[in-house]
Amino acid sequence: MRLTLPFFFGMKLPNGHLFRGKRRLVKRVSHRAIETLKKDMQREEQNLFYLRHPYLTREQSAGHSKALNKHQKWVNQFITAANDKFSKHKTLRDELEHLKIGEDWDFKAGAY
């Protein structure tokens, strides 16, 4: 331990939480952090530009899906998906089909 102890003298850590309070450890701003921040700001500015200048006007965007019947297709797809989750209608005949062995009800002598 005595050989490695001098390596730790320059790294005294603050008391308590590292990044909060009066004696907190403040990270230095790196060049990479500045570049990342610039990229984020440029992306945000581009997004705001697209929001300020939309491709369609409000009137065009309100009616463009009506001609394609998108809402009706979505409703039909939703209804079929909901119906697929439930079991199909079963009749009594379908439930008791496995009990049916033969059609004749008459006793035939000598069968047993």
Residue 48: its pLDDT value, please? 96
Instruction: Tell me the pLDDT tens digit for each residue of 58-82.
Output: 888 777 777 888 889 999 999 999 8
Please give the pLDDT value at position 38: 99
- pTM listed for this prediction: 0.42
CA-CA-CA-CA torsion for 7, 10, 14, 20, nearest 10 degrees?
Answer: -110
Flag whether pLDDT at 20 surpasses 60.
yes
13 or 8, which is more confident: 13
Q: Which two tokens stand for residue 89?
A: 């209608």
Averaged pLDDT score across all residues of the chain: 85
22-62 confidence digits (pLDDT tens): 999 898 999 999 999 999 999 999 999 999 998 888 888 77
User: Following DSSP, what letter does each residue of 86-105 receive, concatenated?
Assistant: SPPP--HHHHTGGG---S--
CB 39 within 8 A of CB 27: no
